[in-house]
Structures are given as C-alpha cells and as structure tokens.
Amino acid sequence: MSKYVFYFLMPVLVPLMVLTLPDSWKRTKRKRTLLAVYGAAAVLSFTAMISAAGFVRGTVERLVLDYGALFFFTVTVSAIVVSLLRYLLAYICIQLHAWSAVETLHSNRGYAVAVALCAAFILGVGSSHFSGCRVMTYDVNLTDGTSEHPSQCTVALLSDIHLGAGAGDALVDRICAQTAELRPDLVCIDGDLVDMMTLQEDLDSFADKISRLSPKYGVIYVEGNHEKDSDLDCRAALEKRGILCLYDEAVVLKNGLAVAGRRDAHEVPVPEILSAVSVPEDAPAVVLSHRPSDLTEMSDHPYLVLCGHTHGYQIPIFGLINPYLSDLPYGYRAFGRMRAVTSAGAAAWGFRIKWPSYNEICLVRVVF
C-alpha cells in the first residue's frame, strides 16, 4: 500500500508549494513559467523513480532516478516549510508592529536563500545518516526472575535493507562487516530485503556475503511488505546458501530458544505457529514480525518481537506521523509480558537519506 501513497505525494506537494510561495513569485509570466517547469520536472522525476523502477536496470539510471527525485522532493518540502514559517513569523511581527522585520520576511532573496539552506541541510545531514550503520544495543530479559540458570542469546537484527533501491554494494559490505564485528549468536533479516528495483545479482551477492558470517545459530529471514513488489524468489536464493526462511513457521535453536517468523499478512497467530514445533504457550520465544502491528495481542506471552518497516523517522516532517501508524514506531517497549524492538532499518527505500533517524543494526541480548 505504501508505494501507492508515494505515487500521489509529489502531485499534491508541488501545488501546495506553489500556493505557499510569496505572491511576488507568481506575478510575472516568466516566474509562472519557471514554476510550471519545476513542478512538471518534480512530478515526472518522482513518479519515474517509483513507477519506472521495474524496468530500470543500469546503475547510472537508478542513481539518476533516485537522486533526481530526492532533489525535487527535498526542495519542494523545504519551500513549503519555509513558506509556512515565513507566514507565521510575519503574522507575529505584524501583531508586534515590527514593520522592518515584516519587510525583511517578504524579501524574495531571503526566501530563496532560506529554501536553499533548508534543502542543503536535509540533503547533507540525511546523506551522512544514510552512509553508515550505527549499532543500537538492547538487553531483554524474558524470564520471570525465578530461573536459577537462565540462558542468553545475542541476536543481530537487520531490517529494511532494500537491496539496490536502498543499500548499494558499499553499504551492504559495511553492514556485513559491522555485523561480523558484533559476533552475534543469531542473525535475523526482518523483511524488505528486496523490492521492485532489486536485481537478481543484488540478492545473490548479499546472500553470499551474509552467509559467510556463519553465526552459531545461523541466519534467519522473514518477508516484508516490499517482497510482493519483486519477482525474485528470495526463498530459493537464500536457502541455497543455508539461510533459514520462516513463512508462518518456527524453529527451536540448539540452545532451546524458539524463533517464529511471520508472513507479512499476519494471518496466523504466533502461538499457533509455535505450537507446530511443540513450543508451550508460556515458553519464551523470539518472534520476527516485519510490521510492528498486533503487538498488544501478544502481551500475555513472554515473547521478544523484532520489527522493522517504519524506517524510524526517515523523511523529515512526514516521519512525524509514524507514531500514529503502528504500535511501536521505533525503539524498545514492553507490552505486558511481551517485549518489542522496532529498528529504523539497516538502509531504507526510495530516498537515500535518513533524518532524524539513522541506518542501524540492532544488537539484542536476550536472557531466557
């Protein structure tokens, strides 16, 4: 569903930007023509990245679509933000009878400079946040405190890699190298590994690299919502390299910890998935669930639910609606007996920027 929202995002933003521009920017025919050309280029660039991505195959073409759309999106958002702030400040200055400040706020040159600085800030900071991966560490205890000899398992959570459309070869190498340095017992890939821009060679290369890590309890993968956009057979490519794929299935590790993997539709209850491998309802378990939804329904169980999907707060301004779209938009939270972690993702989809969030690997030390 998310991609259809983005289809219409730019056509809505561009008219909004034009409406909020200073009146003097719309008075002359030349300026109106420039705005029309800008609007058309912005819409075409953005929709090309989304809709034409299915047949774009070359590296250069993908970069042009990606960064072209990013440029227009960033400038448009910056223009809207600066315009709204300008109107707000002008209203305050009028109430205070600060007429010289009002005149300054109506300066065309000042407006253009403010938009350029805002766009440069978003692009610069967002690109730096996207260029690497920080490590977020969580300590989670799934016991009730009565166990005399609890066990521990260290899990590295990788989500929302979006091969090709998000993580390129350099970022994939960085992700794999950092994960190896953490020396986790188990690596979990929590959905949106691929999407419609991912090539078979992207998937094969990643599978080769991540399988070489050889953690004690292996690598486990579950699907996300973007896998439906791809015609690649993730399961075949990953299982060929010894990576376990769980589609509403569960497995019990050699250390006794159960791991359940949910399909993106969330049609099968987790206790039912775990019962297939004879795990009691009251036993601790790790649940891989790409979307951080239906979390409250598992609050009576001693589960650790690992999620992704939200990208933290990836896109400036629009990331503010994230808390209203899921049970846990980002970070760690307890729901009764259940604990949940939502990662901002090791990469992201579409725009190769993240701000205020970062690319991240989550390292979760589980006591059970």
pTM of the model: 0.84
User: What sections of 52-140 are H helices per DSSP?
Assistant: 59-95, 99-105, 108-130
H/E stretch holding 286 = strand 285-288
Instruction: Give the whole-angstrom CA distance, residue 153 versus residue 257.
Output: 8
What is the reported pLDDT for 2? 43
Q: Please give the domain boundaries of the chain with CATH numbers for all domains.
A: 2-129 (no CATH), 132-367 (3.60.21.10)
In the chain the first and final C-alpha atoms are separated, in Å, by: 37
Tokens matching residue 13: 């933003």
How far is residue 65's CA from residue 88's CA, in Å, rounded to a whole number?
Answer: 35
Report how far residue 190's alpha carbon sits from residue 192's, in angstroms, rounded to the nearest whole number.
7
Tell me the pLDDT of the chain (368 aa) as tens digits: 344 445 455 566 666 666 667 666 666 777 777 777 777 777 666 665 555 444 555 666 666 666 666 777 788 888 888 888 888 998 898 898 888 888 888 777 888 889 899 989 988 898 899 988 999 999 999 987 666 788 999 999 999 999 987 888 999 999 999 999 999 999 999 999 998 778 899 999 999 999 999 999 999 999 999 998 888 999 999 999 999 999 999 999 999 999 999 999 899 999 999 999 999 988 999 999 999 999 999 999 999 999 999 998 887 666 667 767 788 999 999 999 999 999 999 998 767 888 889 999 999 999 99
- Cβ atoms within 10 Å of 327's Cβ, excluding its own: 18
**pLDDT for the residue 136:** 97
- Burial class of 64 by CB neighbour count within 10 A (0 to 12, 13 to 18, 19+): middle
The rounded distance, in Å, linking the Cα atoms of 133 and 129 is 8
Cα–Cα dist 86/35, whole Å? 19
Q: State how far the Cα of 316 lies from the Cα of 355, in Å rounded to an integer.
A: 6
Question: Rounded distance, CA 330 to CA 326, Å?
Answer: 9
Closest CA to 192 of 26, 14, 3, 65: 3
Tell me the sheet residues that pair with 153.
Answer: 366
**Could you give the CA distance from residue 303 to residue 259 in angstroms, rounded to a whole number?**
10
pLDDT score at 58:
61
Q: Cβ neighbours of residue 244 under 8 Å, at least 6 residues apart?
A: 218, 219, 220, 221, 251
